[in-house]
């Protein structure tokens, strides 16, 4: 790995207050960005050991996915022997929860390996993951971290604590998060705290999670009002809407990331703005599960912190960026909502800040050197207009040529540098073929909904 690396391109999109530099360059020293500017100016003051230059290329920060489930990749194309779900609660009961029960640490590793590879090859350099496997809790985050470090991506990892089967299971989930947070050498993996959703956890588990957060300083994440069942549960059990209950437990803060937040009213949006809590928006997953459209334009107008995730569905984040950009236009019948630059910020600097990674998500001196080089297959128009719109409307994950994480080139000319993709593919397929065998009995029993 070159200690001093220079990356040159037709245009540098910094995501630093919208600054765009034509005929630009990014200088990297070690794992930090040393300089960003015009190529000639940067080269005068920076002697590089290696130069990366791609004609007609766009240089920008690595994409940050604010919410994912890496193990979701195991369901791609699966033919399940189940009665088709008719709403989101049945999707959980008939698909996700039975899958969770069949996962072991072997699948934790293999799904993380496959998803990390897809993320990296399409320009995502950092993700926040929540994992669930009631029969494979202990050590699961180590298995995921092993895949993360083999590929060379950056991951914020957690186990999804839930009490839907027992109180003891919820405590075991929290302990796995605590164990991993305390682990010294995690490489490019980091820890956080995860709770499943308010309808599967008690206030007592929330209190214990907040005690762990106070002790470790880690961010905390939870699914919030993804489907209407979460809202109805809190109204019936507590006489409060979901966000109201979470506020009253003390969970909401700038160190809390709330995934989805589809079924919120005006008062809940105001609470999010007042507390500084983050919303991880997952438009493609919300469309897949037919849960509704989150009120992202309203959130942004109120000053709510919003970032973009994929919820474990499509791992090309450029598709997710484009979906966020388009969905709210058609939902509002308003072509002015969520401008292109904001759509990109949701998946770069905003998503990084959601997890306290304040030196990621932008190309700025002193920031960590997470950089991607895009070369569209066809540069049909010049980059001299609105480059943010050019990226949102015209770029896909397959246009990513080079990926740098922490100053290390981990993708070069569309090829992984740390992992043999064919060997990884063989390992993953063998594991997932065995998993699919275990999934064949999924239609025989449905886990009843035990709301806490």
Predicted pLDDT of residue 448: 61
Judged by DSSP in three states, 7 sits in strand
Give the range among 3-12, 143-152, 348-357, 437-446 with minimum mean pLDDT: 437-446
pLDDT greater than 60 at residue 446: no
CB 210 within 8 A of CB 220: yes
pLDDT greater than 70 at residue 321: yes
**Could you please report the per-residue DSSP string of 44-98?**
HH---SEEEE-TT-EEEEPEEEEEE-GGGGGGTT----SPPPSSHHHHIIIIIHH
Predicted pLDDT of residue 313: 97
Q: Mention every residue, 6+ apart, whose C-beta is less than 8 A from residue 332.
A: 297
In this predicted model, what pLDDT tens digit does every residue of 69-124 receive, in sequence order?
Answer: 999 999 999 888 888 888 998 999 888 888 999 999 999 999 999 999 999 999 99
The top-level CATH class assigned to 63-354 is alpha beta
Predicted pLDDT of residue 38: 98
Bridge partners (DSSP) of residue 191 are 157
Q: Mention every residue, 6+ apart, whose C-beta is less than 8 A from residue 25.
A: 6, 7, 8, 9, 12, 35, 36, 37, 38, 39, 42, 43
Mean pLDDT of 272-301: 98
Mean pLDDT of 164-176: 96
Q: How many Å apart are CA 428 and CA 155, to the nearest integer?
A: 19
* Ramachandran assignment for 228, one of left (phi > 0), alpha (psi -120 to 50 degrees), beta (any other): alpha
In this predicted model, what pLDDT tens digit does every residue of 33-65 receive, in sequence order?
Answer: 999 999 999 999 999 999 999 889 999 999 999
Mean pLDDT of 437-447: 73
| pLDDT-based confidence at residue 20 (cuts at 50, 70, 90) | very high
Percent of the chain with pLDDT over 70: 97
Predicted pLDDT of residue 115: 98
Please check whether the two domains, 4-61+361-416 and 63-354, share a CATH topology. Answer: no
Predicted pLDDT of residue 452: 62
Predicted pLDDT of residue 1: 63
* Ramachandran assignment for 39, one of left (phi > 0), alpha (psi -120 to 50 degrees), beta (any other): alpha
Architecture of domain 4-61+361-416: Roll (2.30)
Predicted pLDDT of residue 70: 98
pLDDT greater than 60 at residue 444: no
Predicted pLDDT of residue 293: 98
Mean pLDDT of 120-148: 97
Q: How many Å apart are CA 233 and CA 241, to the nearest integer?
A: 9
Torsion of CA 439, 441, 444, 446, to 10 degrees: -20
pLDDT greater than 90 at residue 324: yes
Mean pLDDT of 349-358: 98
In this predicted model, what pLDDT tens digit does every residue of 399-414 receive, in sequence order?
Answer: 999 999 999 999 999 9
pLDDT greater than 80 at residue 174: yes
pLDDT greater than 80 at residue 451: no
Q: Taking the chain, what is the end-to-end CA distance rounded to the nearest angstrom? A: 51
pLDDT greater than 60 at residue 416: yes
In this predicted model, what pLDDT tens digit does every residue of 240-271 receive, in sequence order?
Answer: 999 999 999 999 999 999 999 999 999 999 99
How many Cβ atoms sit within 10 Å of the Cβ of residue 287?
Answer: 14
Bridge partners (DSSP) of residue 37 are 25
Predicted pLDDT of residue 79: 84
Q: Where are the domains of the chain?
A: 4-61+361-416, 63-354
pLDDT greater than 70 at residue 334: yes
Helix axis angle, 242-249 to 266-275, nearest 10°? 30
Predicted pLDDT of residue 83: 86
Query: What is the average pLDDT value for the chain, to the nearest integer?
Result: 96
Predicted pLDDT of residue 440: 86
């Amino acid at each position: 790995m070159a200690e001093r690396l220079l990356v040159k391109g037709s245009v540098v999109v910094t995501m630093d207050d919208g600054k765009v530099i034509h005929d630009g360059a990014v200088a990297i020293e070690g794992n930090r960005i040393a300089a960003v500017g015009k190529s000639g100016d940067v080269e005068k003051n920076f002697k590089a050991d290696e130069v990366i230059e791609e004609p007609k290329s766009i240089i920008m920060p690595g994409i940050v996915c604010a919410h994912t489930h890496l193990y979701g990749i195991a369901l791609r194309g699966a033919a399940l022997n189940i009665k088709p779900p008719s709403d989101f609660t049945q999707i959980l009961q008939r698909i996700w929860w039975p899958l969770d029960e069949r996962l072991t640490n072997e699948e934790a590793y293999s799904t993380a390996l496959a998803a990390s590879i897809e993320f990296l090859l399409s320009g995502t350099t950092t993700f926040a993951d929540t994992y669930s496997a009631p029969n494979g809790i202990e050590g699961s985050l180590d298995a995921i971290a092993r895949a993360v470090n083999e590929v060379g991506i950056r991951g914020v990892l957690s186990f999804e604590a839930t009490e839907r089967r027992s109180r003891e299971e919820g405590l075991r989930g929290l302990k796995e998060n605590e164990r991993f947070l305390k682990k010294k050498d995690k490489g490019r993996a980091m820890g956080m705290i995860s709770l499943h959703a308010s309808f599967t956890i008690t206030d007592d588990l929330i209190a214990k999670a907040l005690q762990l957060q106070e002790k470790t300083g880690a961010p905390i994440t939870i699914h919030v009002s993804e489907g209407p069942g979460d809202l109805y549960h809190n109204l019936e059990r507590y006489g409060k809407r979901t966000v109201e209950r979470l506020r009253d437990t003390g969970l909401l803060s700038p160190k809390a990331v709330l995934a989805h937040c589809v079924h919120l009213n005006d008062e809940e949006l105001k609470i999010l703005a007042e507390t500084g809590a983050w919303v991880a928006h997952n438009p493609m997953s919300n469309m897949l599960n037919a849960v509704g459209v989150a009120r992202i334009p309203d959130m942004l107008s109120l000053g709510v912190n919003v970032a973009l995730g994929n919820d474990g569905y499509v791992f090309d984040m450029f598709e997710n960026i484009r979906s966020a950009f388009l969905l709210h236009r058609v939902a509002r019948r308003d072509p002015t909502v969520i401008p292109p630059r904001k759509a990109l910020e949701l998946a770069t600097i905003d998503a990084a800040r959601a997890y306290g990674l304040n030196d990621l998500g932008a190309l700025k001196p002193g920031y960590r050197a997470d950089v991607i080089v895009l070369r569209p297959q066809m540069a049909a128009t010049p980059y001299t207009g609105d480059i943010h719109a050019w990226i949102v409307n015209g770029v896909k994950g397959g246009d990513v040529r080079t990926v740098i994480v922490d100053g290390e080139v981990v993708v070069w000319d569309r090829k992984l540098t740390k992992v043999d993709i064919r060997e990884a593919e063989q390992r993953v397929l063998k594991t997932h073929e065995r998993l699919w065998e275990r999934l064949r009995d999924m239609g025989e029993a449905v886990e009843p909904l035990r709301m806490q």
